[in-house]
Amino acid sequence: MTTVSTWRTNLIRKAKTLQKRVLVMPDEDYRFMLEDRYKQSSTADLTMEQLQDLVTHLDVMAGNSAKQRPSRPDAQAQKIWALWQALHEAGVVRDPSEAAINAYVKRMTRRGKASGVESYRWLNHYQASGIIEALKKWSQRVG
């Protein structure tokens, strides 16, 4: 018979495996995502429902579930997407894909030897504001 604590432990283990081995998401980015999505800074602080949602979300991000869609991006992420698409329409950005914008975000958020944030959807509000301003300045420079 499986107890609730065993289910909880297995969900936490699966979430951490997806984070570290499958998505190779840095701890800082993972904590930002937890803060943004659940207002918690640790996986251990999540409820069972939140843990199940987290595992589903990480599975979707890893491409393991075709049925599930990623969560809707917040307003700042939508703004970043819109600015990126506008730069593409202006002929400045060759690739309008999410992979291209994620590569740009990762490069822009890199600090020293630490790798940058893997996805524009995981940016905290401060980082997202910086990316938005950089894209707006880039747009102004090109016309």
What pLDDT, on the 0 to 100 scale, is given for residue 69?
A: 43
First CA to last CA distance, the chain: 66
Q: Which residues are CB-contacts of 91 (< 8 A; sequence separation ≥ 6)?
A: none
Integer angstrom CA distances of residue 41 from 33, 50, 134 = 9, 13, 28
pTM for the full model?
A: 0.53
What pLDDT, on the 0 to 100 scale, is given for residue 107?
A: 92
What pLDDT, on the 0 to 100 scale, is given for residue 124?
A: 82
Helix (H) or strand (E) holding 78: helix 75-89
What pLDDT, on the 0 to 100 scale, is given for residue 65?
A: 45
Residue spans per domain, the chain: 4-62, 75-142
What pLDDT, on the 0 to 100 scale, is given for residue 85?
A: 93
What pLDDT, on the 0 to 100 scale, is given for residue 3?
A: 75
- CA distance linking residue 3 with residue 13, whole number of Å: 15
Counts for the chain of helices (H) and strands (E), in that order: 6, 0
Q: Assess contact for 15 and 48: CB atoms under 8 A.
A: no
Closest CA to 31 of 23, 40, 20, 22: 40
What pLDDT, on the 0 to 100 scale, is given for residue 67?
A: 42
Integer angstrom CA distances of residue 135 from 52, 80, 85, 142 = 35, 8, 11, 11
* Rounded mean pLDDT for each run of 10 residues along the chain, 143 residues in total: 75 86 82 90 89 85 53 81 93 91 92 82 87 95 86
